Amino acid sequence: MIVFDLRCAQGHVFEAWFASSSAFEDQREHSLVQCPICADTVVEKAVMAPNVAAKANTRPSVTPEVVKAAMKALATAQQQALEGSRWVGRGFASQARAMHVGDQAQEPIHGQTTLEEAKALADEGVPVAPLPFPVLPPERTN
């Protein structure tokens, strides 16, 4: 497999994987490659930056302290986003769907759902987003 940076006639740049360079050319000639932003099928290879691996003896530029601070900031942002949101537990999928179709008044909610339920909600156009950290039921929080 090979990855190419591609550019459509509208100037959008994206990348795509192909079995080979000739597979890209064949798919492009048959208008099978299209821009994911505008669906343009006039696509050419874009200039690519080389992927040069870092030396094995170099230190990571991100320190544990930086990671810890970022995680704390993310947890604080999640906590602030949930203020004023109602915990609905395992009933999240059904309540989010009911609000989406107008069977229930819209309000900010959060709860638990399976990955399959979350994918189904997204497929139906229900606006949902996963939280970066697990949220405990109110009775399990301090």
Per-residue pLDDT tens, the chain, 142 aa: give them. 888 899 999 989 888 999 888 999 999 999 999 988 888 999 999 877 666 776 666 666 788 888 899 989 988 888 888 888 999 999 999 999 999 999 999 999 999 999 899 999 999 999 988 888 777 777 766 5
Token pair of 116, please? 């399959």
- Please tell me what DSSP assigns to residue 33: -
Q: pTM of the full predicted structure?
A: 0.51
Residue 71 lies in a domain: no
Residue 97 lies in a domain: yes
CA distance 94 to 113: 10
For residue 113, how far is the Cα from the chain centroid? 17
Owner of token pair 């821009």: 35
> C-alpha angle with apex 34: 28 to 35, nearest 5 degrees?
135
Contact indicator for 58, 80 with CB cutoff of 8 Å: no
Q: Domains in the chain: how many in total?
A: 2
Residue 75 lies in a domain: no
Whole domain around residue 24: which residue ranges?
Answer: 2-45
Residue 129 lies in a domain: yes
Residue 119 lies in a domain: yes
Residue 61 lies in a domain: no
